[in-house]
Chain A
Amino acid sequence: KQEVTQIPAALSVPEGENLVLNCSFTDSAIYNLQWFRQDPGKGLTSLLLIQSSQREQTSGRLNASLDKSSGRSTLYIAASQPGDSATYLCAVRPGMGAGNNRKLIWGLGTSLAVNP
């Protein structure tokens, strides 16, 4: 059974720091891995999607890496800002093929606070 774990559960940093959020999964047979951001009272926003054949994806100050064999992904946030404060969720899509099963397995998230 696929399980997704995120460490740390909470993180508080001063503005400007570079930081790393970790995600691990128990079964390396994944089709893709996604990072989302959740703001209080709002839905989730997709940040990055990494296919199983890819090593990393970048968007602005965000960089996500994937090491499928070791069951790990990291989300790197450069030069953090107070507006980055949110909960960051990692989700994996199990399976080796494109298939029709798009069920995502989710971690519990890392709650990030960036202090001015």
Chain B
Amino acid sequence: GAGVSQSPSNKVTEKGKDVELRCDPISGHTALYWYRQSLGQGLEFLIYFQGNSAPDKSGLPSDRFSAERTGGSVSTLTIQRTQQEDSAVYLCASSYQGTGVQETQYFGPGTRLLVL
């Protein structure tokens, strides 16, 4: 079956521009996660959506970052007024709502963002 897909795969933008990154989770997965992986750094949690519950936004680094999930499926991560330090690989993952192995996260290939 189809895995998690992300678009675009690569994005080059100029400092100050806004960007939108898209994630299509695996069908039936109610949990969706966004992470950021910067060069030489570990994965950094950004935001987590679970069904109809309020999202956990505790990892968003600034108010320039926002995310939404429409219809409990597709999610969009928006970065406003991009800065060079926003350059990173943005990874999306999805999982079932259950516990144990059901919460195994399945990752997309990521979007490589470069802010010039």
- Which residues from chain A sit less than 8 Å from chain B, CB to CB? 4, 32, 34, 36, 41-46, 49, 51, 89, 91, 98, 100-109
Contacts and interface: CB of A to CB of B under 8 A. Distances in A.
Contacts, number: 58
Interface in B59-116: 59, 91, 93, 95, 99-101, 103-110
B104 A46 contact: yes
A44 B43 CA distance: 11
A105 B33 CA distance: 13
Given A98-B99, A102-B31, A108-B41, A43 B50 contact: no
B43 A101 contact: no
Interface residues of B, number: 28
Contacts of B104: 34, 46, 49
B56 A101 contact: yes
A49 B59 contact: no
B56 A103 contact: yes
Nearest to A39: B109
A50 to B, nearest CB: 10
Given A91-B43, A98-B99, A103-B48, A44 B59 contact: no
A41 B53 CA distance: 32
B42 interface: yes
Contact of B33 (A36, A102, A108): A102
6 contacts: A36-B107, A43-B91, A43-B108, A44-B107, A98-B99, A103-B58
B110 A102 contact: no
A42 B59 contact: no
B62 to A, nearest CB: 18
Contacts of B108: 43
Contacts of A32: 103
Given A104-B45, A106-B42, A43 B56 contact: no
A102 B43 contact: no
B21 interface: no
Contacts of A34: 104-105
